Amino acid sequence: MGSIKFTLRQLSSDDASSPRHSYFKVLSEYLQPESPVKAREVAQSIDALCPLRQEGGDASSAEDFIWGFWTDVDQIACQIPHNHESQDKLISVIRELQTLPPVTVTFWGNEERLWKDLPLAGSAFRDTWTGPKEGDESSQEQWINKNAFYARLFGARIVPWKPNFAIWTLRDALETTQGEFGDCYVAAAASWIEHAGKYLYDCTRNGESDAQFNEITAPGELFRGSGGLSTERWTFWKSRFVQVSSQSGSDASGSCAEAAARRMAEIEGGE
């Protein structure tokens, strides 16, 4: 696969000596397909830039650094095509960060371990969770890329949060009525099945639901069940993928839906 030219918002030439510029340079080079750099080296470089690892570093500056880092990770992920090997390389860096010696930190009243618990990542990713724009091909491609990356995170089972993102995307694609604009939603939803389908299926069987979770993952108008994850909802999604695959006016959307339905059946069969 070809190289990728990455950009970050508000990263000017004046920032050449900033920690943000430093980790962006390291990540940009590492994420190229032919890069010989190891994920471990990248993780160590990022970790060394965190104020908590430096003499005199304080929690406030660490919070700004960590929040900014996760926001930038989201920006970078959105620029990596959903089927590009660099998506997996970015996941590898996060895995390696989690293996580094932890430091206990308290942000927003929560005591967590850097980087083991991925502090602030869930909130930062939620803050960037903005859907695609109709008629904007670039934003639609980025939406698919974002969902593919998040799906890989959950599929790797390295995040401590409930799968709100997955349900929101699957709901928007399969539990509501979409026009042609729905093609990017279907592709984004299919990526969750491709990369995190087994994880989601296990959640349906393990009762991954509570009152708050059910409320924030309330169903769309086409699904008559409750929020959260359930075998009923999983089965509905599979039937909708089958329906979309046969009725879609887009070959790409139909193909994505067909592959997702087939993968769901395989997961149910234990594959």
- Neighbour-count burial for 63-81, b at 16+ CB within 10 Å, e otherwise: bebbbbbbbbbbbbbbbbe
Q: Is residue 206 part of a domain?
A: yes
How much is the pTM?
A: 0.95
Q: Please give the share of the chain, as a percent, with pLDDT higher than 90.
A: 83
- What domain range includes position 175? 161-271
- The model's pLDDT over 126-145, given as tens digits with 9 standing for 90+, comes to 999 999 998 899 999 999 99
Are residues 30 and 108 both part of a single domain? yes
The confidence band for 216, taking pLDDT boundaries of 50, 70 and 90, is very high
Listed residues 128, 148, 180: the one ending a domain? 128
Number of domains in the chain: 2
Residues 20 and 66 in one domain: yes
Residue 100 lies in a domain: yes
* CA distance readout (Å), 109 to 60, 104, 120: 13, 12, 12
| Residues 1-21, mean pLDDT to the nearest whole number | 86
pLDDT of residue 181: 63
Residues whose CB is less than 8 angstroms from the CB of residue 219 and which lie 6 or more positions away in sequence, other chains included: 171, 175, 225, 226, 227, 233
Digit-coded pLDDT (tens) for 61-118: 999 999 999 999 999 999 999 999 999 999 999 999 999 999 999 999 999 999 999 9
- Kindly state whether residues 120 and 224 are assigned to the same domain: no
Residues 118, 181, single domain; the answer is: no
- Asked if 26 and 121 sit in the same domain, the reply is yes
Residue 147 lies in a domain: no
Q: Which of 107, 128, 149 is the last residue of a domain?
A: 128
Residue 23 falls within a domain, yes or no? yes
**pLDDT for res 79:** 98
Query: Does the residue 187 lie in any domain?
Result: yes
Matching residue, tokens 């989201």: 74
How high is the pLDDT of residue 205? 87
CB 156 within 8 A of CB 227: no
pLDDT given at position 208: 63
Mean pLDDT of the chain: 93
Q: Are residues 25 and 67 in the same domain?
A: yes
